Chain A
Amino acid sequence: MLWYKSLREIRTVTLVGMAAMAIMCALVVLNQQTMRAHADAPMTYTAYIWKSVYNSFGRDMFCILAVILGSGGLLQEGTHGTVGFTLALPVSRSRIVYTRALIGYLGVLAIAAVPIAVVPAVSRYVGEQYPIMQNMGFFLLWAACGVVFYGLTFLLAHRVEGDAIPVLLAIPSLMLYGVLFDLPWFSHLRMLNIFQVINGEDMPFFNESRHLLVTPLPWLPLAAIVCVGATLIVLAARRIQPLDL
């Protein structure tokens, strides 16, 4: 039942995040005519969805929500005074940490999956079409890159106390990371720039003129990104093991 506790901890953020993502996606689609009419240059519906959902509002919202979902765990429980009860349960600390990590990540996946349902459904309502396979592709990119956003905050949340501090540390750290990989020195390492991988910009698996993902997705770099995120979570679990709580 540890999963149940973790689920209850993330439930509100996940549901609010999913609702916010759904509203954002719906508003983007419903306002497509106005927005496209006021664009600097003519834009296809596919390009509009990519720019609005997968390259700006949606992606940014997803990153922030993944970061917020990562901020939890035993150290934060210490702030709320419940750590004694949790640690008195007959389970190992590792199991507590990994269960929280897994359930939190499922929350990240749930938020990433919202556009799969909302964008095609509302597109049909306004008489447009957006390929569901594109949504699926971006879901996979968000799911993979989300592990890093989530994992970094999760690690920070197991190093520093306070509810908001891990989030406040993770956001500038990720921004700094994005800025660094935008520098010309790192141009040959663009596959390591998760902010570009997540939306496909300048990536060989993305067609810039049609604004569509072209198969196959870069499975190896994506696996490497997931490994980095997983390593951050393992480090969090190791960090908590010897702590006096």
Chain B
Amino acid sequence: MIPERIIQTSDLTKKYGDFCAVDRLNLSVRSGRITGFLGRNGAGKSSTIKMLLGMIHPTSGAGTVLGYRIDDPRQSIEIRRRIAYVGEDKGLYGYMTVAELIRFTRSFYRDWQPEMERRLLAEYRLPPRMKVKALSKGMRTKLALLLALSRRPALLILDEPTEGLDPVSIEELLQTLVGAPVNGTTVFFSSHQLSEVERIADDILMIDRGSAVLDMPLEQIRENYRRICLGFSTAPPHLESILGIEKMRCEGRQIVILASSNADAIAQVGRERGAVDIQVAPLSLREIFLETVQERNQQDQRRHLEHENALV
């Protein structure tokens, strides 16, 4: 029985010394869906995934995958028995051949599906006798995917799966991922390729500085997120923050608002405050991502520069 919330964390925190990689993260991933896990480099995506898999230990907080606790070593084995993981570096044993690695991996899973293995082997055109270390990065990714998908796992976790793949392989991979929920596999994947995420994800989870900054179905994001530009004939008035306003900035005689909901009401407020030109436009995932993290990125860069200068 797969729980409705296949991944759940509560105040999950991971600190490396003074650095907080994951900061009281609360996330909830629905089963049977494809969830895109977004964030800048160093936002805490890989640390979160590694905590879910029991590779690193949470500093505090709790989490469950398929109802099993991630901080319990025995339950963590059960998690790994039921899920599949394709890591960021696709580090596979280079000294084994493709066939040997498949045989090795197969031995750990009772639910291995030989016909799926054969199908993917042919589809990905993987040479069984070739050493893994001789495979290109793209072929290694395909092999990692074959090992993950030959079991029809309840949950497939992928960390940057399209990295190093050519466009044709990316397309094949995306098609595979899109079809996974039909076979009962929930997909949770991190990526920097926002256009890919936008194409296949049902839900979006965005984190920054270790905390969730956006957790919403993509459909809802498309429906609700708007950029509202309020043009004034004189200096723009001060607008108080109302429901739905995520960010607001002044650009000359214009106020630019990033709204996560309530766009009509916000536009109406602008009109009442004397806006002569009101533009409401939908946003792409890329624009939302940049709006959300760009300012923080600049803050981080400034802080880093100050730190460097202090050292000099």
Q: Does B237 contact A (CB under 8 A)?
A: no
B91-108 interface (Cβ within 8 A of A): 91-96, 100, 103-105, 107-108
Nearest Cβ distance between residue A135 and chain B, in whole angstroms?
33
- Please tell me if the beta carbons of A88 and B87 are within 8 angstroms of each other in the complex: yes
Nearest-CB residue, chain A, relative to B81: A90
Nearest Cβ distance between residue A64 and chain B, in whole angstroms?
22
Nearest Cβ distance between residue A222 and chain B, in whole angstroms?
35
User: A-B pairs with CB below 8 Å: how many?
Assistant: 65
Q: Does B89 contact A (CB under 8 A)?
A: yes
Chain B residues within an 8 Å CB radius of A85: 87, 91-93, 144
* Contact (A9, B95) CB under 8 Å given A1-B104, A87-B54, A244-B57: yes
Q: Complex Cα distance A4/B100, Å?
A: 10
Chain B residues within an 8 Å CB radius of A80: 91, 94
Q: Complex Cα distance A88/B55, Å?
A: 8
**Which listed residue, A1, A4, A5, A242, touches B57 by the CB 8 Å rule?**
A242
- Please tell me if the beta carbons of A1 and B95 are within 8 angstroms of each other in the complex: no
Chain B residues within an 8 Å CB radius of A210: none
Most A C-beta atoms less than 10 A away, residue of B78, B93, B94: B93
Chain A residues within an 8 Å CB radius of B53: 87-88
Size category of the B interface is 20 to 34
- Please tell me if the beta carbons of B108 and A1 are within 8 angstroms of each other in the complex: yes
* Contact (A91, B89) CB under 8 Å given A8-B96, A244-B55, A244-B57: no
Size category of the A interface is 20 to 34
Q: Complex Cα distance A4/B93, Å?
A: 12
Q: Does A92 contact B (CB under 8 A)?
A: yes
Q: Does B56 contact A (CB under 8 A)?
A: yes
Chain B residues within an 8 Å CB radius of A9: 95
Chain A residues within an 8 Å CB radius of B100: 8
Using A89-B108, A91-B108 as known contacts, list a sample of 15 further A-B pairs with CB atoms less than 8 Å apart, ordered by residue number in A.
A1-B107, A8-B96, A8-B100, A82-B93, A82-B94, A84-B85, A84-B87, A87-B53, A87-B55, A88-B53, A88-B55, A88-B85, A92-B73, A244-B16, A245-B56
Show the binding face of A for B, using Cβ within 8 Å. Answer: 1, 4-5, 8-9, 80-85, 87-93, 241-242, 244-245
